[in-house]
């Protein structure tokens, strides 16, 4: 039994991206979680959890999304060994930056490497989505898909499961601002309406399809016009104090669009790297939260390539 440790970076992701609720996702270059693992004769063991929010994460392998995802991959591969893992969180839980998705995706990707990379990557994504579903209450793959595959991803269908990947335009820059507020996805889903009017459906179909077109053609201005949400962000906006002021500041300082990241509280801004400086946008958003008594972490970053071996 090889006891060689394998180390994986599992990046933050942003989901929904306006109109694509539970459908669109985008890998972010940083921050990321680090998941380390090695084969052991049998069973699953979590030997350490460190980093922001580590004290809130269970060490029970049957309830932790890393080990649930590992188990799912091992089962599909008929693996005859167990795995010991060490988890270092770089993305705090309750951030809207795909923290639980990164854990699930990192676990699935780690097990994929330990099992000799025999499963198709889409199946690895599905294993991670099941783990994400266990911990967040509903199976949604819009964070785990970009976390594993990188780039911009679309869940075409959950049943049967099919995911597509698009390479985002190279000049698309990202600013991520995380105010010191915790929003749990499970809570943020409780405030959503159960039904949507047809007019809102039409708005979302138009915006989501044109966002895909803009991503594929590299039209940054059209990306800006296509990120819109008249259902989910409006229902959640009260969960994130000063959200609208933060988005407005980002727009006034050069963003092409600014929106709620996933279920929040992080605020995302897209900008054109060839014409604008992300640092100026980041500072303006941070200032809104700071002036209202909230700490705020910011990252000026890029679209990411997904899970990778370190
Ligand atoms: N699509 C999910 C939601 C993502 O908005 O609830 C949660 O990160």
Q: Kindly state the helix (H) or strand (E) to which residue 144 belongs, with its residue range.
A: helix 144-149
Q: Which two tokens stand for residue 85?
A: 């893992």
Q: Which of 15, 136, 261 to mutate to test the pocket of ligand 1 (most atoms within 8 A of CB)?
A: 15
Residue bearing the CA closest to ligand 1, atom 4? 262
Q: What's the 175 CA to ligand 1 centre distance in angstroms? A: 19
Q: Distance between CA atoms of 65 and 86, rounded to whole angstroms?
A: 13
Distance of CA 275 from the midpoint of ligand 1 (Å): 31
Helix axes 121-136, 99-114, angle to 10 degrees: 140
Q: How far, in Å, CA of 140 to CA of 126, rounded?
A: 10
Token code pair at residue 184: 């749990």
Q: Are 30 and 301 in contact (CB under 8 A)?
A: yes
Position 185 scores a pLDDT of: 87
Contacts of 150 (CB under 8 A, 6+ apart): 27, 165, 304, 305, 306, 307
Please tell me what DSSP assigns to residue 206: H
Distance 231 CA to ligand 1 centre (A): 13
Check if 185 is active-site: yes
Q: Per-residue pLDDT tens for 239-256?
A: 999 999 999 999 999 999
Distance from Cα 262 to the centre of ligand 1, integer Å: 5
Q: Is 61 in the pocket of ligand 1 (CB under 6 A)?
A: no
DSSP 219: -
Burial class for 251, CB neighbours closer than 10 Å (0-12, 13-18, 19+):
middle
For residue 54, the SS3 value is: helix
| 115 catalytic residue (yes or no) | no
Report the distance separating Cα 258 and Cα 214, nearest Å: 16
Q: Is 95 in the pocket of ligand 1 (CB under 6 A)?
A: no
Ligand 1 within 6 A of 16 CB? Answer: yes
Do 252 and 203 form a contact (C-beta atoms < 8 A)? no
Contact predicate 255/42, CB 8 Å: no
Question: Choosing from 23, 185, 233, 301, which is the catalytic residue?
Answer: 185
The 3-state DSSP class for residue 82 equals: strand
Residues of the chain scoring pLDDT < 50:
none
Separation of 21 CA from ligand 1 center, angstroms? 7
Long-range pairs, 287-294, Cβ under 8 A, ≥24: 287/249, 288/242, 288/245, 288/246, 288/249, 289/177, 289/179, 289/180, 289/242, 289/246, 292/241, 292/242, 294/179, 294/180, 294/181, 294/241, 294/242
- As a whole number of angstroms, the distance between CA 306 and CA 190 comes to 29
**E strands, 96-234, in order:** 152-158, 161-166, 172-179
Task: Determine contact, residues 208/225, Cβ cutoff 8 Å.
Answer: no
Residue entry with tokens 């899970």: 307
Residue nearest to atom 1 of ligand 1 (CA): 22
Q: What is the pTM of this model?
A: 0.94
Locate 122 and state its tokens: 């889409």
- Ligand 1 atom nearest to 96, measured from its CA: 8
Q: Are 171 and 272 in contact (CB under 8 A)?
A: yes
Catalytic residue among 132, 153, 233, 301: 132
What was the pLDDT predicted at 151? 98
76 lines ligand 1 (CB under 6 A): no
Index of the ligand 1 atom closest to the CA of residue 136: 7
What confidence score (pLDDT) does residue 1 get? 55
* Inter-residue contact 150 to 165 (CB < 8 Å): yes
């Amino acid at each position: 039994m090889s006891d060689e440790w394998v180390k994986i970076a599992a990046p933050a992701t942003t989901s929904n991206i306006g109109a694509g609720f539970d459908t669109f996702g985008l890998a972010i270059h940083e921050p990321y979680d680090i998941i380390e693992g090695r084969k052991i004769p049998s069973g699953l063991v979590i030997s350490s959890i460190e980093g922001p929010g580590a004290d809130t994460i269970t060490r029970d392998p049957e309830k932790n999304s890393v080990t649930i995802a590992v188990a799912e991959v091992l089962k599909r591969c008929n693996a005859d060994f167990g795995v010991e893992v060490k988890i270092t969180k770089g993305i705090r839980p309750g951030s809207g930056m795909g923290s639980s998705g990164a854990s699930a995706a990192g676990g699935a990707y780690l097990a994929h490497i330990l099992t000799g990379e025999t499963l198709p990557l889409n199946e690895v994504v599905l294993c991670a989505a099941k783990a994400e579903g266990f911990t967040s209450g509903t199976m949604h793959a819009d964070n785990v898909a970009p976390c594993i595959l990188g780039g911009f991803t679309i869940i075409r269908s959950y049943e049967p499961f099919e995911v597509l990947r698009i390479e985002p335009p190279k000049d698309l820059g990202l600013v991520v601002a995380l105010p010191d507020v915790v929003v749990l996805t499970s809570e943020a889903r409780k405030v959503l309406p159960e039904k949507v009017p047809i007019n809102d459906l039409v708005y979302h179909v138009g915006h989501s399809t044109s966002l895909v077109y803009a991503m594929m053609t590299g039209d940054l201005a059209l990306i800006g016009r296509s990120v819109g949400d008249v259902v989910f962000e409006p229902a959640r906006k009260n969960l994130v104090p000063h959200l609208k002021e933060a988005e407005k500041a980002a727009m006034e300082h050069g963003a092409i669009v600014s929106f709620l990241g996933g279920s929040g509280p992080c605020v995302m801004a897209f900008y054109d790297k060839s014409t604008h400086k992300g640092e100026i946008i980041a500072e303006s958003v941070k200032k809104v939260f700071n002036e209202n008594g909230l700490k705020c972490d910011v990252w000026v970053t890029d679209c990411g390539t997904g899970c990778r071996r370190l």
